Structure 1
Amino acid sequence: MFLSKLTINVRSREFRRDYANVHDMHRTIMSAYPDLSEGTPARLEHKVLWRLDVTQSGYTQYVQSHTEPDWSRLPTGHLMTQAEVRPLAPVLEAIAPGRKFSFRLLANPTRSARVENGQDVRKRRAHTTPEAQIEWLISRGERDGFVIPTVRRGEPDVAPSPVPTLLGQKKDQGKITVVPVRFDGHLIVTDANAFSNAVINGVGRAKAYGCGLISLAPPATDR
């Protein structure tokens, strides 16, 4: 597994195009990976996850994958500096039951809701309140091998933050709308295998469109 850090040139024409259409951004990222036989889902085969973080100077994009990428395939001027690529093995090897991590996750918390048209039709709806978003994350942890600890006040040690809606257009499949939420906080591993699988394969939906990548770091001072 590999983790890439890309410092984006916000003046790049291609980046501005991608920023306006998240499907184009997905295609630009996938250009760094080898083509596969027709019909093979390339993102799944290469296990590609990505996230775009806002910084003081612009944007940093993190890309995780099973296959080592070739970022020289990106358009000229797309990056401000050379891409940084490092193995993810040390992170995966650190995962163990009871281990505490600081984490960041951009996710797409949704629920299945009945469409109000008199028919038995259900559609995915975004969770819009911090309380529901945290409940969604706690529920994901039950299947993905982690729990969110509590702080001294008894509240979950995680803060959800709204980010701009991701919009795009995919040929022959219509409009793309993803309502992401950024989670920052701490987690404790309960099942190393399940959690490792979540780190490798992503958490939640919309993984092709910038959601699901969970970044881990040593825990901050206990609160």
Structure 2
Amino acid sequence: MRLHRIHLNPRCKEARRDLADPYQMHATLCRAFFPPETPCPQGSLLWRLEPETDVEGRPRVLIQSRETPDWSRIPVSAWLAQAEPGIDLVQKLALDALQAGQAFRFRLRANPCKTVLGKRQGLVHPEAQREWLARKGEQHGFALPESATPDYFDFMQSPEGRAYHDIRVSHEHMLKGSQHGGNAIRVYSALFEGRLTVTDPVRFRAALETGIGHGKVMGLGLLSVAPTSG
């Protein structure tokens, strides 16, 4: 399981197309990880368009997969501006020694939703979003903090988004994509950031490997974490 960070060329027409349509972005990324004659297996990669750009204004994308990418398979050479070396997450996060009680900072772009009359509806109310994430934590082996220290609260303040006592939610919008047959896809998206504590190492590692929630083809579900002390 490796994590890759790439930077796209905003001057490239095809890159701008993919940035505007996450379904097409997923299709392009699959070309790098699988040969043209091999369909991209469901769940074979997770990815996320980051809200920040690099110092040159180039969009950043994180991709997580067990497969090794070959960026030369992407047909438009100008699409990719830079690809950083992949990170071995098992080694970097010491996942083989993961224990209950470990704390991590996290980032998750996800589809907080509920099902009404057989259809998923995005959750836009702050408390409903937090409750959704807490339920996902129970399902996937982690818990949100009961309270926060002052320095952590200061860290979570932001001119955009909303600050809660343990998480921040920002960059809320409706993702729109188009399948090859012309069918339109709409998925509500929100970016969660904060701290969590591992409660079940086995389930937590599985969440890191397979993602959280719906809309993974649209760039949702990738749970990225970094160890934290205190």
Do the two structures share a fold, i.e. TM-score over 0.5? yes
* Residue 80 (structure 1) aligns with: 81
The match for 2:179 among 170, 176, 183 is: 170
SS at match of 1:3: strand
Identity across the alignment (%): 35
Aligned AA for 1:107? A
The farther-off stretch of 181-190 and 151-160 is 151-160
Distance 1:113 1:52, change over 3 A: same
* Residue 48 (structure 1) aligns with: 45
The Cα RMSD (Å) is: 2.2
SS at match of 1:68: coil
Q: For 2:182 and 2:98, how far apart are their aligned partners in 1?
A: 39
The match for 2:96 among 62, 77, 93 is: 93
Q: Please give the residue correspondences for 1:7-46 in structure 2 after superposition, counting only pairs within 5 Å.
A: 7-35=7-35, 42-44=41-43
* Residue 3 (structure 1) aligns with: 3
Work out whether residues 122 and 188 of structure 2, in 8 Å CA contact, stay in contact via their aligned partners in 1: yes
The Cα offsets for residues 118-177 of structure 1, whole Å up to 9 and x where unpaired, read as xxxx21100011211111000000010000002259964111113332111113472111
Aligned AA for 2:51? V
Distance 1:193 1:123, change over 3 A: same
* Residue 128 (structure 1) aligns with: 124
Aligned AA for 1:7? H
SS at match of 1:167: strand
With normalisation by structure 2, the TM-score equals 0.84
The Cα offsets for residues 3-47 of structure 1, whole Å up to 9 and x where unpaired, read as 100011111111111123221111001001224987x76132xx2
Distance 1:12 1:43, change over 3 A: farther
The Cα offsets for residues 174-200 of structure 1, whole Å up to 9 and x where unpaired, read as 211111110010000000000000000
Task: Show structure 2 runs of 5+ residues with no match.
Answer: 154-163
Work out whether residues 33 and 69 of structure 2, in 8 Å CA contact, stay in contact via their aligned partners in 1: yes
Q: For 2:98 and 2:59, how far apart are their aligned partners in 1?
A: 28
Work out whether residues 4 and 83 of structure 2, in 8 Å CA contact, stay in contact via their aligned partners in 1: no
Alpha-carbon deviation of 1:80? 2.1
Distance 1:89 1:54, change over 3 A: same
**Number of aligned positions between the proteins:** 211
Aligned AA for 1:52? L
Distance 1:71 1:83, change over 3 A: farther
Distance 1:10 1:93, change over 3 A: farther
Alpha-carbon deviation of 1:103? 0.5
Aligned AA for 2:184? K
Alpha-carbon deviation of 1:98? 0.5
Q: For 1:147 and 1:95, how far apart are their aligned partners in 2?
A: 15
Q: For 2:108 and 2:169, how far apart are their aligned partners in 1?
A: 9
Distance 1:77 1:83, change over 3 A: farther
The Cα offsets for residues 89-108 of structure 1, whole Å up to 9 and x where unpaired, read as 12233532110000000001
The farther-off stretch of 170-179 and 55-64 is 170-179
Task: Show structure 1 runs of 5+ residues with no match.
Answer: 115-121
Q: For 1:53 and 1:33, how far apart are their aligned partners in 2?
A: 20
The farther-off stretch of 156-165 and 176-185 is 156-165
Work out whether residues 148 and 156 of structure 1, in 8 Å CA contact, stay in contact via their aligned partners in 2: no
Q: For 1:10 and 1:163, how far apart are their aligned partners in 2?
A: 22
